[in-house]
Structure 1
Amino acid sequence: MANLANLYDVSKCTACRGCQVACKDWNQLPAVIEPFKGNYQTHQDTNGDTFTIVRFIEHEDAVDGVQWNFLKYQCMHCLEPACMAVCPRDAYSKTEWGATIHDPEKCIGCQYCTYACPFGIPKYRKREDKITKCTMCAERVNEGLTPACARTCPTGALQFGDRNELLEYAEERVKFLRANGFPRATIYGRLELGGLNNLYVLTDTPDKFGLPVDPKVPGQIPFWQNIVQPYFGWLIPLALAGSAVSFVTTRILANKHGDHGEGGHE
């Protein structure tokens, strides 16, 4: 089966937040009201009950003055997901078409995936002691439908389809943008972290949209994946055995010191 992906073109986005509402509606997620902080962005970040947000990013350009950038932000569905690599309960898996899925039945709420993700996407839902995140509407796609966000977008800023075909379209779109006032237009997600299944056509460099220019998996992740995790089953009994030995040794030494102390008083 073809690798499927979302492509988001920032140059076509009006920040209507229809995608954000559609995500809430389809996943039956409760409202999360955050205090107003002087910005049109409704949520500072994704959270346990908000899988998709639209970022409002304001910056000042020396030539063009104050500029607004919009960005749809959600799970990137990496081709090589760090969350899946570090999960001690194998709660993450990939669908045959590319989505990264989380199984709450296996989740223990350890949040290793949150710390491993270069985008900080998996979020903790306290009331259930579980992690949650965007599924790219896998249940819809499995039935031949498009994700709710892409289905809702009124301007065509969101497209869903074959990843290779979307990349070909993105290349043509970037050429057009560079020739029409956006010389720094670029594609994000083609190569980053081995490739993402949420692709972006950006009108400027990634940092102008709050995206890491060169996202990297934290350095301790390979240590966990290659050394700790394969032997995790042995670590607990070894730790218990070490504690038992330490306890017995401490008691023996304490008794010896006690005996010596009594002899000294005589």
Structure 2
Amino acid sequence: MADYIKFVDVTKCDGCRACMVACKNWNDLPTVTEEYSGSIQSHAKVNAHTWNVITYNEHETANGGFEWLFRHQSCLHCVEAACEKACPEDAISHTEFGSVVIDHDKCVGCGYCVQNCTFDVVELATYKDKHGKEYRRAQKCTLCTDRLEQGLEPACVTACHTDCLIYDEKEKVLSEAEQRLAKIKERFPNANIYNPQGIKGTTTVYLLADKPSVYGLPENPKVPLSQIVWKDYAQPLGKAMFGVTTMAVVGSVIAHAMNREKGEHKGGQDHE
């Protein structure tokens, strides 16, 4: 099939949350209540049972006015996905549609994907087996891969009444996005198309009204070198030489190093 992407033009979003409802309905996700924080935003962020959230950011206009900047927050389905690199069980992979999905039969709930997700969208959900024993599995947006396999659009896209969300051929969408960007530059001088090449692009691409950081997005995300070395070199070689048991130990050591690296990176950002 043609190379398709989900495109999000945040300047067309009116914050109606229809995409959130459609996602819950299609994926049969349970209700998640949160303590009221004083914000009109329904959830602080996406979580294991809420796979997309409309975020609200207060924005002061050039003439001193005020408006809301909305964003449809969900998994971006990175071409080079840090969660996939971090997974020691090969439970995370890319589909033919470019979506990043989790195989729950392979997932052991270790949480390395959660700790290393570039956009902080993966979370662990807790379940109980027939004996009442609790276990955890990683959860996030699947880009409605089950719908794509049937020739349907993602549920969130079908529910959007402003055409903020589009699922179409990549080249066509990006060409139209450039035209749209040129039109809104006068109103939003910092507007940009967010498709970070440090992770080789994403299957969910944004037209943002302001800098990525305004929306809580990293300006130029990259997969840490330690994750690339672990997934692409150390893990395959280790399995061939030492066996799965030994690799579990090696994986634990490398995962610890990755987590420390991420923590140091965040600490450096805070210091700045």
Worse-superposed segment, 101-110 or 52-61? 52-61
What is the match of residue 155 of structure 1? 162
CA shift, 1:154, in A, is 0.8
CA shift, 1:226, in A, is 4.7
Match of 1:126, SS?
strand
- What's the TM-score once normalised by structure 1's chain length? 0.83
What is the match of residue 181 of structure 1? 187
What is the match of residue 171 of structure 1? 178
What is the match of residue 253 of structure 1? none
Query: Identity, % of aligned pairs?
Result: 38
Q: Verify the 8 A CA contact 1:116 1:218 in the aligned structure 2.
A: no
CA change 1:62–1:154 in 2 (3 A) is closer
Q: Deviations over 1:189-210 (max 9, x none)?
A: 1635210010111111111211
Distance across 1 between alignment mates of 2:60 and 2:218? 19
CA shift, 1:183, in A, is 1.7
CA change 1:226–1:6 in 2 (3 A) is closer
CA shift, 1:220, in A, is 3.4
Distance across 1 between alignment mates of 2:37 and 2:148? 36
What is the match of residue 221 of structure 2? 215
CA shift, 1:166, in A, is 0.9
Which ranges of structure 1 fall in alignment gaps of 5 or more residues?
241-266
Q: Deviations over 1:57-110 (max 9, x none)?
A: 225567535442110011111112122222211112222121111111110011
What is the match of residue 113 of structure 2? 113
Distance across 1 between alignment mates of 2:247 and 2:37? 50
Which ranges of structure 2 fall in alignment gaps of 5 or more residues?
128-134, 250-272
CA change 1:215–1:64 in 2 (3 A) is farther
Distance across 2 between alignment mates of 1:72 and 1:116? 21
Distance across 2 between alignment mates of 1:121 and 1:190? 16
What is the match of residue 42 of structure 1? 42
Worse-superposed segment, 141-150 or 58-67? 58-67
- What's the TM-score once normalised by structure 2's chain length? 0.81
What is the match of residue 138 of structure 2? 131
What is the match of residue 248 of structure 1? none
Paired AA for residue 143 in structure 1: Q
What is the match of residue 16 of structure 1? 16
Question: What is the 5 A alignment of 1:76-91?
Answer: 76-91=76-91
CA shift, 1:225, in A, is 2.5
Distance across 2 between alignment mates of 1:133 and 1:121? 7
Distance across 2 between alignment mates of 1:56 and 1:168? 27
Distance across 1 between alignment mates of 2:224 and 2:64? 36
How big is the alpha-carbon RMSD for the aligned residues of Structure 1 and Structure 2?
Answer: 2.2
Paired AA for residue 19 in structure 2: C
Distance across 2 between alignment mates of 1:237 and 1:89? 13
CA change 1:238–1:224 in 2 (3 A) is closer
Paired AA for residue 111 in structure 1: G
Which of 196, 203, 225 is residue 202 of structure 2 equivalent to? 196
Paired AA for residue 6 in structure 1: K
Match of 1:113, SS?
helix
Question: What is the 5 A alignment of 1:19-34?
Answer: 19-34=19-34
Distance across 2 between alignment mates of 1:232 and 1:35? 46
Distance across 2 between alignment mates of 1:79 and 1:133? 16
CA change 1:232–1:34 in 2 (3 A) is farther
CA shift, 1:230, in A, is 3.2
Give the number of aligned pairs: 239
Match of 1:224, SS?
helix
Does residue 1:144 correspond to 2:143, yes or no? no
Q: Verify the 8 A CA contact 1:122 1:132 in the aligned structure 2.
A: yes
Distance across 2 between alignment mates of 1:164 and 1:221? 30
